[in-house]
Structure 1
């Protein structure tokens, strides 16, 4: 489907704000509490994933290192406890403020001036999202979808489908802006047109650019109308 740009759906961490490094540090610190060290093999299980997924991943790794699950923090409630610890560790790191990525505020303000709704679609818990919005500005978003708002998170399409439904638009009339393979998969599965701001992540159905500075309202409208080819 092509036509008018009805909404732009933004990922948060690593897309609008420079927090992915903080999230990795938080995960590494919590992993170290169980004697684990994060490696390159953990990247796909950490970046762009909901807290519950990462917690389950760390618990599985710890369980394989120490099969006695009762020895893990929280015993049978290990995943829930590790998830809470991850959120606390992340919150501690962003409490001092976060840095919007270049072009983020300008693009959000241009969308507002152009009458195009912007939604935040994040895998982070609402507590974290609310902290980040103190810097980015909650008033810049028509809608916010956080991790708790869908039963299933990225890379499944549920968060993007939820955002489109609440905005009353078809996902095909939306452009999603993402930075991780997990998020790109979710947005594509939802039927959105997709921009990757990570650079070097071109793939079928995705327009890859080197940062939000390369994204503007005319480009997004071209994508929605089909005038600009992707992937």
Structure 2
């Protein structure tokens, strides 16, 4: 294993509740009703796709305006309520760094938000960042993960992906990457993940290397 590719929202940081609240607030501004089940359907989707779904829920704004509004709202919540890193995430990143394993952040959030989150980590955690505004075809297409592999100069079969959503898992699996699901807001049952674990707490670089070897030999 030469690289570990990380999803951000729900995997690195617990920002999904911020997104869900911001969506509910936005739909409510236009007199609509937005449920937790509605919000769960957007987890892991590209922001342009999410924007179109929100338009269907009655939000009378264009796609770019919706994307920027939600990004601003979630960024504000991060600034005022804090950045809740997922348990074990920073520790695993530090161990991967110490082991000399490359890392990429592969997120469908905008780059400006991803950069703010990464800047809060007190070491150089990621070699590259690929965000929603860097790709034409977002998750669940394979493109984000394939682009990250190319930037890291590694093959997909040399990587492990960490994901918390069915759309994210589908993207990594479509890129032929060994994929570990860490369920959080939504279930990963029948998602196609190579395997699932309940948490990153206590997970080490050696654990990921062993998992990769078991599923590529």
TM-score by length of 2: 0.90
SS in structure 1 at match of 2:120: helix
Question: Which of the residues 167, 175, 179 maps onto 1:182?
Answer: 167
Matched, 1:92 2:76: yes
Q: Where in structure 2 are there 5+ consecutive unaligned residues?
A: none
Q: Secondary structure at the match of 2:201?
A: helix
- Looking at structure 1, the residues matched to 106 and 74 of structure 2 have their Cα atoms a distance apart, in angstroms, of 18
Displacement of 1:31:
1.3
CA contact (8 A) 1:196 1:202 kept: no
1:7 to 3, 9, 20: 3
Q: Work out whether residues 30 and 89 of structure 1, in 8 Å CA contact, stay in contact via their aligned partners in 2.
A: no
1:113-153 Cα deviation digits (max 9, x unpaired): 10101111111001111111122346111111111111111
The TM-score with structure 1 as length reference comes to 0.85
From 17, 20, 27, the counterpart of 1:24:
20
Which residue among 137, 151, 154 is the counterpart of 1:166?
151
**DSSP-derived class of the 2:116 partner:** helix
Q: Which residue of 2 aligns with 1:113?
A: 98
Q: CA deviation at 1:29?
A: 1.1
- For residues 82 and 99 of structure 1, the distance between their equivalents in structure 2, rounded to whole angstroms, comes to 24
1:173-215 Cα shifts (integer Å, max 9, x gaps): 1000000111111111111001111176354442111111153
Name the one with the larger helix percent.
1
Q: Residue in 1 aligned with 2:63?
A: 79
- Contact 1:26 1:93 survives alignment (8 Å): no
Hey, what's the Cα distance between the residues in 1 that align with 2:174 and 2:202?
A: 24
